[in-house]
Amino acid sequence: MRITKKLLVAGAGVVSLIACGGAAYATASAAAEAAAPIALTATAPAAPKVTAEQAIAIAHRQVPGAWIREVELDRNGAAPDVWEVKLIKGSQRYEVKVNAASGKITKSEIDRDHDRDDDHGGRGRDHAEDD
């Protein structure tokens, strides 16, 4: 009976070593997979050839002396991506769109809706108040 106990204890020890070794192997495999680079199925959008700083410089040439209010890259899918640069000069607001690949200005306009959005009940500053 003593030999049977020894075999049972030895067998239990072997089984626990195998189980722990399997768990350690599985953990090591999972860690290796997590550290491996992930292959993307969809291609990441390419960085624009024209940087934000270059788009700002182009917009400043269009509206000299203006302050930059906002710069945003508009990704337009099939259409070319554009930098939308919003500027302020005096009381005027401007919007300049710069092609992110070529650096050419695709749109430049004064934001005329700005005067209607002020705190004067929908009236621009140049309208007289009715008394």
Q: What's the pLDDT tens digit per position in 52-105?
A: 999 999 999 999 999 999 999 999 888 899 999 999 999 999 999 999 999 999
Question: What is the topology classification, in CATH, of domain 52-117?
Answer: Nuclear Transport Factor 2; Chain: A, (3.10.450)
- Comparing CA positions, the residue from 117, 115, 66, 119 lying closest to residue 95 is 66
Q: Is 122 left (phi over 0), alpha (psi -120 to 50) or beta?
A: left
pTM: 0.54
Q: Where are the domains of the chain?
A: 1-35, 52-117
